[in-house]
Structure 1
Amino acid sequence: MVRAGSAVDAATAVIFATFMALMSQVARVTQPEARPATALGLALLVVCGLALALRRINPLLAFTLTVGTAVAYLGLRFAGWPIYLGAFAGLLALVFGVTEARVWVPFAAIGGVGMAVATGAPEGWQPAPMITIAVVWAAVAVLAARATQVRRKLAEEEAAGRVVEERLRIARELHDVLSHSLATISLQAGVGLHLVDDRPEQAREALHAIRQVSNDALAQARAALAVVRGPGEEPPQAAPGLADLDALVTSVRATGLGVDLAVDLGSRAIPDVISATAYRIVQEALTNVMRHAGPGARARTHVGTAHGWLEIDVTDDGIGAAVPAHSPGHGLRGLAERATAVGGELQAGPASGGGFTLHARLPLGAEG
């Protein structure tokens, strides 16, 4: 990105230098008392323009070269106005590129005085043009400084917003991972305690399941925290998606909850972000069934595509749990935020015939 910016700056500087050199011939028509253009005058114009190529690399040097050559050019009584463009461009490069006012203000002030005094030579030392240049120079410096402050404030606010969004993303990931894993572990531990005396083999299977769920939870937690990993660490595993739904349902069934799963995607390719979002929605929905539906409940999960949308339905026939419209749980709130973040929508609440139902639709983009 830096190299691309430098290349653009270099090309712009060449075009600017050429423009000033050509327009200096026109400028002399309006300033007949000025000195005719010479090789020295053209060289100063070219150096003034080319110095702007340094505005990102060294704005202070770019300013010094542009203003220095402009003062020399005007002091030698060459025709004036094209060189002012280069000098003011150097001033903008200084104000935009140097963050500390205590550094750029003295340089800008010295440059302004130099330009005002040098203006007198080709203008016959008339005070009005000299004062005008000084006032305009100061005004441009102040306006550029103000614009820079606003731009930096907006950049800081944008960066702060990205931090908040990333924290929310991590919080949602950790909630979904830990909520599902801890609910599964709790149920499996209950099964193990119940069977440890009479059927130790099944109790051992429950312990193995707990170990597997724990390892999966740790791996997914590492993936959720990938943005704060230190350099040099191995990359985290990919986020789970629709291809992992069978494994998810298998782990849920191991807790004793009956789950029917139907996935009908046809030949439609599912974007990774939609696939990952859909997995988390199904995961959290089944976690809520495990926690709230009660013993003997059964969940039905259907994932399919229709008219450019990925449709997700999870229903159960359990006792359900009240979800106040004004204060949904953290899990449902997080799922709604996930769906909204990718342009989708989510609705959840008690089913008309008992139990609980969740419906989500996520956009798949243009039809392929």
Structure 2
Amino acid sequence: MAEQIRRTGFGPPWLRGALVPGADGTGDGPDRGGKLSRLPWFTSVLIAVFVMVGTGFAAQAQPDREPLDAFARVLLLAGPALLLLRHRYPVRCVFGVCLSAMIYLGAGYPYGPIFITVAVACFAAIVSGHRKAAWWAIGLLWAGHLLVGHLLYRVLPPSGDAAAPWGPEAGVSAWVVAVLVGSELVRVRREQWIHDRAERAAAEARRADEERLRIARELHDVLAHSISVINVQAGVGLALLDSDPEQARTALTTIKAASKEALGEVRQVLDTLRTSGDAPRTPAPGLDRLPELVEQAAGAGLTVQLQNEGEPVALTPGADLAAFRIVQEALTNVVRHSGSRTARVRVGYGAGLLTLRIDDAGPATGDEAGGSGNGLVGMRERAAALGGTIEAGPRPDGGFRVRATLPLKPKETP
């Protein structure tokens, strides 16, 4: 997880700054103004004040320890000063803080809140992903504490010091374990938070991609059908403009109606983008509009026979729209690619399935149709989204057949 954050720069500011150089003003490298990135001054100064004041009070209760002199105060300030680099150089920081604490203890100065700097440095190293360094640093500090308290006390100040009792060592060990375990728990919790957030972002991206695909499919189906009708009628109008002006007028009337229908459906699709989450102003087309589709196909010179089999069932809006678009795209392909001027559409209800079958007698014209080639792909995607299938290919006796099966889920009634 830490490596992923370093590579992508994704994550909350407190962790991104610890892992990614120059991120959020806490990493390495210059900012846009060319200055060094902002350091955690406030917390470091606050810790320094607490350590200095707290150690002064603690020294009053430990008259047997060495008095606080200038060197002691330098060591007390060294830890907070190193904490300024805990985001940029967490490993150097934790080892440096532990070293300054070890020198302070070896010099015989009073015990006190200097260990807070150790805890903060350890926490920063573990959260930034340098777990082994933190464990080694605090482990060496603990071992050095045992060495000073039980072996080197004879040669180290204060003079006349005795060996440290073993009883309090249990408390020191518990403190070390508490710091390490607490840091690890925070690290795991925050990494889980980042993982969950990344999953939510990925899910949102997938939903956005699916929505873009749905809109692209809708626009393709609307425009492909209407423009195919317009293309055919424009050719008829141009051919008959001089010899049969009345028939050319009819072709232009068909073009006007088809373009108006296309503009209305495109506007409906775009309205869903402008008013996200709101219900569309007009209902989406469904199988009840197949007669209109047959009429539009007739305007393109295609005679369509419409046949229903079984007892019709009111479908869910998604299934109804998908079924309509599949029939629309299949008829559009007949207009574009088939030399036949007739097609048959069968809509079957039964056995828990809605069956659509669109046949034309062919043959294929072989002419450049000007399409995008996404028609069959779009039909398959619509069917697959509902758990259905699409079969499309030449018929044994010539022509072309599209057969779609969709799970029949009746619309729920209140």
Please report how far the alpha carbon of residue 214 of structure 1 lies from its aligned counterpart in structure 2 after TM superposition.
0.6
Which residue is equivalent to 1:185? 230
Query: Does the 8 Å contact 1:277/1:339 carry over to 2?
Result: yes
Please report how far the alpha carbon of residue 148 of structure 1 lies from its aligned counterpart in structure 2 after TM superposition.
1.3
Match among 405, 410, 413 for residue 361 of structure 1 = 405
SS in 2 for 1:174: helix
- Superposed CA deviations along residues 36-55 of structure 1, whole A, max 9, x for unmatched, are xxxxxxxxxxxxxxxxxxxx
SS in 1 for 2:305: strand
Are 2:245 and 1:166 equivalent residues in the alignment?
no
SS in 1 for 2:402: strand
TM-score (norm. length: structure 2): 0.54
Query: Does the 8 Å contact 2:222/2:262 carry over to 1?
Result: yes
Which residue is equivalent to 2:248? 203
Query: Does the 8 Å contact 1:321/1:350 carry over to 2?
Result: no
Query: Does the 8 Å contact 1:284/1:331 carry over to 2?
Result: yes
Give the paired residue count: 248
Which residue is equivalent to 1:310? 354
Query: Does the 8 Å contact 1:301/1:314 carry over to 2?
Result: yes
- The within-5 A match list for 1:229-244 is 229=274, 235-244=280-289
Please report how far the alpha carbon of residue 299 of structure 1 lies from its aligned counterpart in structure 2 after TM superposition.
0.4
2 CA distance for matches of 1:346 and 1:355?
17
Please report how far the alpha carbon of residue 196 of structure 1 lies from its aligned counterpart in structure 2 after TM superposition.
2.7
- The within-5 A match list for 1:276-295 is 276-294=321-339
Please report how far the alpha carbon of residue 321 of structure 1 lies from its aligned counterpart in structure 2 after TM superposition.
6.7
- Superposed CA deviations along residues 268-308 of structure 1, whole A, max 9, x for unmatched, are 221111110010000000000001112x5310100111201
Which residue is equivalent to 1:139? 184
SS in 2 for 1:217: helix
Query: Does the 8 Å contact 2:343/2:358 carry over to 1?
Result: yes
Are 2:175 and 1:130 equivalent residues in the alignment?
yes
- The percentage of aligned residue pairs carrying the same residue is 41
Distance 1:199 1:233, change over 3 A: farther
Please report how far the alpha carbon of residue 206 of structure 1 lies from its aligned counterpart in structure 2 after TM superposition.
1.8
- Superposed CA deviations along residues 217-276 of structure 1, whole A, max 9, x for unmatched, are 112122333443268999453221101110011110122111111134524221111110
- Superposed CA deviations along residues 154-203 of structure 1, whole A, max 9, x for unmatched, are 12221221222122111211111111111100111122223333433332
Query: Does the 8 Å contact 1:220/1:237 carry over to 2?
Result: no
Distance 1:290 1:194, change over 3 A: same
Are 2:270 and 1:225 equivalent residues in the alignment?
yes
Distance 1:201 1:274, change over 3 A: same
Query: Does the 8 Å contact 2:272/2:280 carry over to 1?
Result: no
Query: Does the 8 Å contact 2:314/2:411 carry over to 1?
Result: no
Query: Does the 8 Å contact 1:321/1:356 carry over to 2?
Result: no
2 CA distance for matches of 1:208 and 1:246?
19
2 CA distance for matches of 1:182 and 1:231?
28
With 137-146 and 229-238 compared, the bigger mean Cα shift is at: 229-238
2 CA distance for matches of 1:159 and 1:230?
18
SS in 1 for 2:194: helix
Query: Does the 8 Å contact 2:316/2:411 carry over to 1?
Result: no
SS in 1 for 2:398: coil
Query: Does the 8 Å contact 2:355/2:404 carry over to 1?
Result: yes
5+ residue gaps, structure 1: 1-101, 103-108, 114-122, 323-327
Which residue is equivalent to 2:194? 149
Please report how far the alpha carbon of residue 124 of structure 1 lies from its aligned counterpart in structure 2 after TM superposition.
12
2 CA distance for matches of 1:137 and 1:240?
59
Query: Does the 8 Å contact 1:222/1:236 carry over to 2?
Result: no
Are 2:319 and 1:274 equivalent residues in the alignment?
yes
- The within-5 A match list for 1:76-87 is none
Could you tell me which amino acid in structure 2 is paired with residue 348 of structure 1? A
Could you tell me which amino acid in structure 2 is paired with residue 339 of structure 1? A
Match among 382, 389, 406 for residue 338 of structure 1 = 382
Distance 1:304 1:277, change over 3 A: same
Are 2:263 and 1:253 equivalent residues in the alignment?
no
With 197-206 and 352-361 compared, the bigger mean Cα shift is at: 197-206
Query: Does the 8 Å contact 2:389/2:405 carry over to 1?
Result: yes
Query: Does the 8 Å contact 2:383/2:404 carry over to 1?
Result: yes
1 CA distance for matches of 2:276 and 2:203?
25
Which residue is equivalent to 1:347? 391
With 196-205 and 175-184 compared, the bigger mean Cα shift is at: 196-205
2 CA distance for matches of 1:274 and 1:183?
25
1 CA distance for matches of 2:256 and 2:278?
24
2 CA distance for matches of 1:207 and 1:235?
31
Supply the RMSD in Å over aligned alpha carbons: 3.2
SS in 2 for 1:302: strand
Query: Does the 8 Å contact 1:191/1:255 carry over to 2?
Result: no
Which residue is equivalent to 1:194? 239
Match among 299, 307, 311 for residue 262 of structure 1 = 307
Could you tell me which amino acid in structure 1 is paired with residue 326 of structure 2? I
Could you tell me which amino acid in structure 1 is paired with residue 396 of structure 2? S
Could you tell me which amino acid in structure 1 is paired with residue 207 of structure 2? R
SS in 1 for 2:282: coil
2 CA distance for matches of 1:252 and 1:244?
13
1 CA distance for matches of 2:317 and 2:381?
17
Distance 1:170 1:312, change over 3 A: same
Please report how far the alpha carbon of residue 210 of structure 1 lies from its aligned counterpart in structure 2 after TM superposition.
0.9
- Superposed CA deviations along residues 334-361 of structure 1, whole A, max 9, x for unmatched, are 1111100111000000111111001000
